[in-house]
Amino acid sequence: MDRMASLGQLAGGIAHELNNPLTGVLGQSQIMLEKLSPTDPLRETLGKITKAAERCRKITKGLLDFSRQKDYHFELTDITKIIDGALDICSSDIIASKITVIKNYGKNVPKTNVSVPHIQQVFLNIITNAIQTMKNGGGLTITTGCHAEQCHAELVSASQRRDPDFHQGDNFVVISFKDTGDGISKENLEKIFTPFFTTKDPGKGTGLGLAISYGIVQRHNGKIMVSSGGEKKGAMFTVKLPINQ
């Protein structure tokens, strides 16, 4: 935890230092583009500069998101509403990718005290990653349940039963996202939450989404886990959030 906090502070400092010169590069590039004629051969070069600068700005935004531990406003919330909100945001990509979403929402799952926009960001990151691994269609199964006296639900996966931090008396909501996508190799499973680690093509991802998600869940005193049978065998992300905190 201390290591992640220190890394977050470093990332935030770097992002702030980079933002000012990046703003200057983008601003000057756009001014020059406006002054050039539509047929000027320099437009293509300036366009590449602008695109690269925008890519860098996206990375610095990710760094700032990773470093932020403020602006958390906790409220008692139905977790399924946050999931549905994330699915609505991704609905066009889900339809375009021909992905079938199956909702296995548990009964009598109590409300959870969370910062809604932050937890929605976690779910968005997981859902977006799942969509990107199912390029030719597939299925995404979302399951919710709880492990508490008031609902007597079982844990939703074998990976949780093997987790030493899970105990019979714990009170928490469990959300799992299981896809039929490309899967994750054993080697990459160990690095999946590491900042800047990505298996995506260059320019397609910053490698910060899951690292940010990890930090958000920790801020909620929860846990995020991943399991996979290997490449081409899909993956499952599981989020555990305390009911009472």
Q: Phi, psi (5° rounding) for residue 98?
A: 55, 50
Pairwise CA distance, residues 35 & 126, whole Å: 42
Average pLDDT score, the chain: 80
Kindly tell me the burial class for residue 158, based on how many C-beta atoms sit within 10 Å of its own C-beta (0-12, 13-18, 19 or more).
exposed
Residues 59 and 79 in one domain: no
| CA dist list (Å): 120 to 42, 87, 95, 131, 217 | 42, 10, 20, 16, 11
User: How many CA atoms lie less than 13 Å away from 40 in the CB half-sphere?
Assistant: 12
179-194 pLDDT, tens digit each: 999 999 888 888 888 8
CA gap 115, 120 in Å, rounded? 9
Q: How far is CA 91 from CA 80, 83, 219, in A?
A: 16, 12, 28
Residue 201 predicted with pLDDT over 70: no
- In this prediction the pTM is 0.70
Instruction: Check residue 134 and give its pLDDT.
Output: 93
Q: Tens digits of per-residue pLDDT, 32-86?
A: 888 888 888 888 888 888 888 887 777 777 666 666 555 788 999 999 999 999 9
* 53 and 147 share one domain: no
Are 122 and 161 members of one domain? yes
Residue 6 domain boundaries: 2-67
**Do residue 55 and residue 145 come from a single domain?**
no
- 189 and 150: one domain? yes
When divided into structural domains, the chain yields a total of 2
Residue 168 has pLDDT above 80, yes or no: no
Same domain, 61 and 81: no
> Both 108 and 203 in a single domain?
yes
Domain final residue pick, 16, 47, 67: 67
The answer to whether residues 79 and 43 belong to one domain is no
Tell me if 122 sits within 8 A of 216, measured CB to CB: yes
| pLDDT higher at 19 or 145 | 145
Closest CA to 133 of 102, 89, 177, 175: 177
Asked if the model's pLDDT at residue 2 lies above 60, the reply is no
Residue 97 has pLDDT above 50, yes or no: yes
Q: Are residues 115 and 63 in the same domain?
A: no
Q: What CATH number is associated with residue 47?
A: 1.10.287
Query: Does the pLDDT value for residue 159 go beyond 50?
Result: no
Domain boundary among 26, 41, 67: 67
Which of 67, 86, 118 terminates a domain? The answer is 67
Indicate whether 134 and 218 sit together in one domain.
Answer: yes
Residues 28 and 78 in one domain: no
Q: What value does the mean pLDDT take over residues 192-212?
A: 74
Nearest-CA neighbor of 68 among 1, 7, 129, 3? 7
Q: What is the CATH number of the domain that holds 206?
A: 3.30.565.10
206 and 89 inside one domain:
yes
How many whole angstroms separate alpha carbon 124 and alpha carbon 76? 20
